[in-house]
Structure 1
Amino acid sequence: MSDKQPISLRRRQLITGGAALAVTGLGASLAKPVSAACVPAEEVKFDEVVDIIVVGSGFAGMSAALQAREAGASVMVVDKMPVFGGNSTINGGAMAVAGSPLQQQNGIKDSVDTMVADMLEAGRGMNDVEMLKLVCNGTAESCQWLTDYGVKWKPFVQHFGGHSIPRVLQTVESSGAGIIRPLVKAAKKRGIDMRTQTKLESFIEDDQGRVTGIEVKANYFFPKERSGVTRRYGARKGIIMATGGFGRDIEYRKMQQPKLTKELDSTNHPGANADALKQMMLIGANPIHLDQIQLGPWASPDEKGFGTASQFNTIATYPRGIVVDARTGKRFFNELADRKARADAIMTRRDAQGQPVYPIGFTNAEGASKAQTLDWGLKYNVIKKADTLEELAKIYGIPADALKAQVESWNKAVDTGEDSEFGRPMQKAMKLEQGPWYAVRMWPKVHYCMGGVKVNTRSEVLHLVTYKPIAGLFAAGEATGGIHGASRLGACAVAEGVVTGRNAGQMCAASKSIVLKHV
């Protein structure tokens, strides 16, 4: 660090640099950290060289890879896990789309501005508005792009919590695999080099600070850190980081939110950790909103991970049923509020010792008619069936008279079209008049990281100190931060991943190529 700099500036750089683990520097005045995160390019002969390397193979990664390939770039996709897709494969496959043909066919009036407003409200105004507009503007065209690659959608529009109107499309599989599989198939057909079990170890930069490649462990067997062999791959145009969030990195998420301990389960796959995020931070990437970690309010404590309850609650309980406190039989929140509001409300249900008192979400056969995981939930005893409300109350220890009174009160609210207690939107509300009844215990799980590295609308990763792009480094999807603010609306992960992934692929492909040395 130069002694000629003002003390206030030097102090600020040290503080912010420490928060990011390390800082690469502002010109020659800030020293690079002594770390394996950076291998000088002048000392490197790459084992292989392509135009673009995409790290991660979820919605953002596959969209980036295909968009870059469409632009004529040679592309390599690397993923540390043994299968492609990461969290995207086990995602619910729901995509929020503003102005879809299916909305128009059903007389649903929507606009980009309305979707932006909904996401701003859910994000408590913390959103990066320019990136938010980029995502919302791209949803309709990107949905069609996915359809052209073979993604198939259900023939109806859904209304997810926090959205002011129905705008959610979902794959026929009710899974993100319905998106990942067609994209991976298309990538292989188009000659994209697809590699699993390839773990990012560090970035390689030239003497100007441009990212020119990555050092990896090939033939890596997660989570065996000593496995694999070192290889160096060069990228003439750039690296696109699409490495997702860190929901399963218990120690790192506790640093951001101490209450998110190992006692709280996660919907994420085992490899969803902060390793790649840390590597970006080590070369100066600006991290934002890392403490904004979303809990999925539709999960059940009676199964691990996403399980069967998540889809059941998303399709059936929340839009076509109600949720009650097991001790009182009464509703206690708006079932169509945004995820943060619902998760926060559920987490307040505790006994005198602070232990969870799991709320009960339920609907009837009509409400559950489109829930594809119903049979599996029943098979594994996560979802329970009751012929009468009295039987339902007995199963979960709910006061029967109070439960029946709540159902009666709910039905009256549907008749009047107004939820005077909690302000739930009632356009698609359904009366609960006849069994059989289907119910599930509910408790949130760590689901999504709103925070990540800061990018601009060209998907370039911005430097912590200079706020300028780190040359050769792009990012998309959950690896980035700021778009969702304090809370992501349901079905906006697919929207964000696909739109920002395509944007990163296009921008990186348009970048100037550099000459790199082969082995």
Structure 2
Amino acid sequence: MSKETMSRRDALKLGVVGAGAAMLSAANAMAAAPIEKDVKFDEEYDVIVIGTGFAGLAAAAKAAERGYKVLILEKMGRIGGNSVINGGGMAVPNSTWQKKYGIQDSGELFIADCLKAGLGINHVELLETIVKRAQDALDFSIKCGAKWQDVKPAWFGGHSAPRSLVTDNMSGSGVIKPMHEFVEKLPGCKIMTRTKMDDFVMSNDGTSVVGVTARINYRFDAKLLSDDVENKTGEKKVYKAKKGVVLASGGFSMDKVYRKLQDPRLAEDMDATNHEGATAGALLKAFQIGAFPVHVSWIQQGPWASPDERGFGVAPLLTQQGLFKLGIAVDVRNGKRFMNEMADRKTRADAEYVILREAPKAYPVAIGTYNTFEEQVYPIMEKGITGGVMKKFDTIDALAANYKIPADALKETIKKYNEDAKNGTEDQFKKQSLKDVKGKEAIEMKGPFYAIRLVPKPHHTMGGLQINTKAQVISANTNKPIPGLYAAGEVTGGTHGASRLGTVAVTDCLTFGMIAGENI
């Protein structure tokens, strides 16, 4: 096997499969990547960034603002990866927005929430860095042209306070598009799409990253097992990075082979919320040169997704900022609630799986009325209805009949839920968002009623490369930073522990993308 053709499958055979796997020896790791004396560089830059999501564009912008010549490589035909299709929410603890609307919050409370969702295995120093720089990241997004809704911050699951801002268009594209334009206008910045990073180029002594090999005119093919070797498209190029490389290639929720290796419950035909290019190739290349893997087998599933649409869709917006906050989710077999609809994602997804393991087609149903939706999502309610992912009913009886839910049991569930809300009594699942409802019904019984079927979908890969607070990638061979290699965003691990809180990904990606660009 030549040093330039080690594929993803080869890497897996060598055991680079997760945080607990045996690491390659230093000699084997170096053999997996070309070294400087054996290549001829086609072009030379100060900084090379892999990926054009939140983290990649933030890193490129900060590096370019320092006067560096920056090359940004994107393997897909469009900019943004998962960032451009996400829900556009950004958690900013103790923000100027919260202060404007009189919301009490703190960095300590934010970290406590993250640790609770992450089962306590988060790397706290990374969370502390996010707390320190979250407002900076928000301000930087605004500087780049992002527009955020000037309303009270939204309350997402697992958070102890409303602390999440949402873009005007309720999509990550509200940040990516202006940031893309901002980066393109910076002197010395060059973005290349359909250009896939194939490997790192190491220094002659094998200790530092000095560039990358890549293919231009690359055409991603989701039908191929490996986009490293089986896909032969593109023309090979070699790029030098005098200051270093920032890996911001994202997660691997659409890598049906690698994700199943980490979590065998994730069938290869299972739908996910990610774009089709969210694969593990670049991550595995970093493992091959000795980067430490962290929490790779923890894969988060979104409990707010629906089987009635492909991918991310609109259900996550209509449930998280609509049906979940004041509405309920019920088991269709008995009409009863089975979880805190505002718990963290893992807690809710696990609760849904209890039902689906017993009855695979008994999709739970989220139920609410017009008042349960936040004002921000009113414009997309009709889209959800016309697209078929959300249904509207005049009566509870009609809703129950449609989903074959015992009507009397469902009515009793709603009655008890509304009584607890009216009386200010803690409900059976200790739902934190009900505390502001006292004196009125949470679900208005006059109707109409709205409902969405629920199914968990792979959404965010918690694990990846170990980094420090300067976004430097840590070597398993030396336990020190690998010179010339930085990483930010979902390709890294440790920040979120076992499960990420909603809207913290944007904060994480922008924050550590900025830090990588500032420190490289």
- Give the structure-2-normalised TM-score: 0.91
Asked if residue 193 in structure 1 is aligned to residue 190 in structure 2, the reply is yes
Tell whether the 8 Å contact from 2:16 to 2:287 is kept in structure 1 after alignment: no
Asked if residue 500 in structure 1 is aligned to residue 512 in structure 2, the reply is yes
2:503 to 468, 485, 491: 491
1:364 to 369, 381, 384: 369
Q: Deviations for 1:237-287, whole angstroms, at most 9, x for unmatched residues?
A: 000000111100111111111111124310011010110011000100111
After TM superposition, the structure 1 = structure 2 runs for residues 61-210 of structure 1, keeping only pairs within 5 Å, are 61-156=56-151, 157-191=153-187, 192-208=189-205, 209-210=207-208
Asked if residue 23 in structure 1 is aligned to residue 18 in structure 2, the reply is no
Amino acid of the residue matched to residue 395 of structure 1? N
Whole-angstrom distance in 1 between the partners of 2:29 and 2:295: 24
1:218 to 216, 219, 222: 216
Amino acid of the residue matched to residue 423 of structure 2? T
With over 3 angstroms needed to count, the CA separation of the structure-2 counterparts of 1:175 and 1:442, relative to structure 1, is same
Q: Deviations for 1:354-407, whole angstroms, at most 9, x for unmatched residues?
A: 524101101112223532432111112111000111111111111111111111
Whole-angstrom distance in 1 between the partners of 2:146 and 2:21: 39
Whole-angstrom distance in 2 between the partners of 1:228 and 1:329: 55
Tell whether the 8 Å contact from 1:237 to 1:472 is kept in structure 2 after alignment: yes
Tell whether the 8 Å contact from 1:250 to 1:262 is kept in structure 2 after alignment: yes
Partner of 1:303: 309
Whole-angstrom distance in 2 between the partners of 1:21 and 1:76: 34
Partner of 1:3: none
1:456 to 468, 471, 474: 468
With over 3 angstroms needed to count, the CA separation of the structure-2 counterparts of 1:302 and 1:403, relative to structure 1, is same
Whole-angstrom distance in 2 between the partners of 1:20 and 1:403: 48
Whole-angstrom distance in 2 between the partners of 1:422 and 1:32: 52
1:346 to 336, 345, 352: 352
Partner of 1:427: 435
Partner of 1:11: none
Whole-angstrom distance in 2 between the partners of 1:441 and 1:217: 42
Amino acid of the residue matched to residue 409 of structure 2? A
* Structure 1, 335-344 or 219-228: larger mean CA deviation: 219-228
Whole-angstrom distance in 2 between the partners of 1:73 and 1:80: 22
After TM superposition, the structure 1 = structure 2 runs for residues 403-482 of structure 1, keeping only pairs within 5 Å, are 403-425=410-432, 426-429=434-437, 431-433=442-444, 434-482=446-494
3-state DSSP of counterpart to 1:294: strand
Amino acid of the residue matched to residue 240 of structure 1? V
Q: Deviations for 1:439-488, whole angstroms, at most 9, x for unmatched residues?
A: 11000000000100101111111111221111100000000000000110
Whole-angstrom distance in 1 between the partners of 2:159 and 2:286: 33
Whole-angstrom distance in 2 between the partners of 1:297 and 1:113: 26
Amino acid of the residue matched to residue 238 of structure 2? R
Amino acid of the residue matched to residue 371 of structure 2? E
3-state DSSP of counterpart to 1:350: helix
Tell whether the 8 Å contact from 1:330 to 1:406 is kept in structure 2 after alignment: yes
3-state DSSP of counterpart to 2:242: strand
CA RMSD of aligned residues (A): 1.8
Partner of 2:360: 355
Amino acid of the residue matched to residue 80 of structure 2? G
Tell whether the 8 Å contact from 2:15 to 2:22 is kept in structure 1 after alignment: no
Tell whether the 8 Å contact from 2:417 to 2:427 is kept in structure 1 after alignment: no
1:399 to 406, 412, 422: 406
Whole-angstrom distance in 2 between the partners of 1:345 and 1:136: 30
Asked if residue 314 in structure 1 is aligned to residue 320 in structure 2, the reply is yes
Whole-angstrom distance in 2 between the partners of 1:34 and 1:504: 24
Partner of 2:8: none
After TM superposition, the structure 1 = structure 2 runs for residues 51-70 of structure 1, keeping only pairs within 5 Å, are 51-70=46-65
Q: Deviations for 1:324-358, whole angstroms, at most 9, x for unmatched residues?
A: 11111111110111000000001111375x52410
Asked if residue 261 in structure 1 is aligned to residue 262 in structure 2, the reply is no
2:395 to 378, 388, 400: 388
Tell whether the 8 Å contact from 1:198 to 1:220 is kept in structure 2 after alignment: yes
Partner of 2:224: none
Asked if residue 48 in structure 1 is aligned to residue 43 in structure 2, the reply is yes
Partner of 2:4: none
Q: Which runs of 5+ in 1 are unaligned?
A: 1-13, 26-30, 509-519
For these two proteins, the number of residue pairs brought into alignment is: 488
Query: What is the Cα deviation at residue 504 of structure 1?
Result: 0.7
Query: What is the Cα deviation at residue 318 of structure 1?
Result: 1.0
Percent identity over paired residues = 42
Amino acid of the residue matched to residue 449 of structure 1? T
3-state DSSP of counterpart to 2:421: helix
Tell whether the 8 Å contact from 1:20 to 1:282 is kept in structure 2 after alignment: no
Whole-angstrom distance in 1 between the partners of 2:143 and 2:435: 32
Query: What is the Cα deviation at residue 216 of structure 1?
Result: 0.2
Partner of 1:229: 235
Query: What is the Cα deviation at residue 21 of structure 1?
Result: 7.5
Whole-angstrom distance in 1 between the partners of 2:471 and 2:145: 26
Amino acid of the residue matched to residue 165 of structure 1? A
Amino acid of the residue matched to residue 424 of structure 2? G
Amino acid of the residue matched to residue 169 of structure 1? L
Partner of 2:329: 323
Tell whether the 8 Å contact from 2:366 to 2:454 is kept in structure 1 after alignment: yes
Q: Which runs of 5+ in 2 are unaligned?
A: 1-13, 222-226
Query: What is the Cα deviation at residue 24 of structure 1?
Result: 5.5
With over 3 angstroms needed to count, the CA separation of the structure-2 counterparts of 1:21 and 1:212, relative to structure 1, is farther
Amino acid of the residue matched to residue 181 of structure 1? K
Tell whether the 8 Å contact from 1:298 to 1:442 is kept in structure 2 after alignment: yes
Tell whether the 8 Å contact from 2:15 to 2:23 is kept in structure 1 after alignment: no
Tell whether the 8 Å contact from 1:20 to 1:281 is kept in structure 2 after alignment: no
Amino acid of the residue matched to residue 23 of structure 1? L
Tell whether the 8 Å contact from 1:78 to 1:194 is kept in structure 2 after alignment: yes
* Structure 1, 442-451 or 412-421: larger mean CA deviation: 412-421
Amino acid of the residue matched to residue 108 of structure 2? D
Whole-angstrom distance in 2 between the partners of 1:347 and 1:337: 15
Amino acid of the residue matched to residue 510 of structure 2? V
With over 3 angstroms needed to count, the CA separation of the structure-2 counterparts of 1:506 and 1:24, relative to structure 1, is farther
Q: Which runs of 4+ in 1 moved over 6 A?
A: 14-19
Amino acid of the residue matched to residue 213 of structure 1? G
Whole-angstrom distance in 1 between the partners of 2:90 and 2:178: 16
Tell whether the 8 Å contact from 1:309 to 1:373 is kept in structure 2 after alignment: no
Query: What is the Cα deviation at residue 40 of structure 1?
Result: 1.2
Amino acid of the residue matched to residue 173 of structure 2? A
Whole-angstrom distance in 2 between the partners of 1:370 and 1:460: 38
Query: What is the Cα deviation at residue 145 of structure 1?
Result: 1.3
Query: What is the Cα deviation at residue 22 of structure 1?
Result: 5.6
With over 3 angstroms needed to count, the CA separation of the structure-2 counterparts of 1:17 and 1:126, relative to structure 1, is closer
With over 3 angstroms needed to count, the CA separation of the structure-2 counterparts of 1:100 and 1:33, relative to structure 1, is closer
Amino acid of the residue matched to residue 200 of structure 1? M
Q: Deviations for 1:49-70, whole angstroms, at most 9, x for unmatched residues?
A: 1110000010100111111111
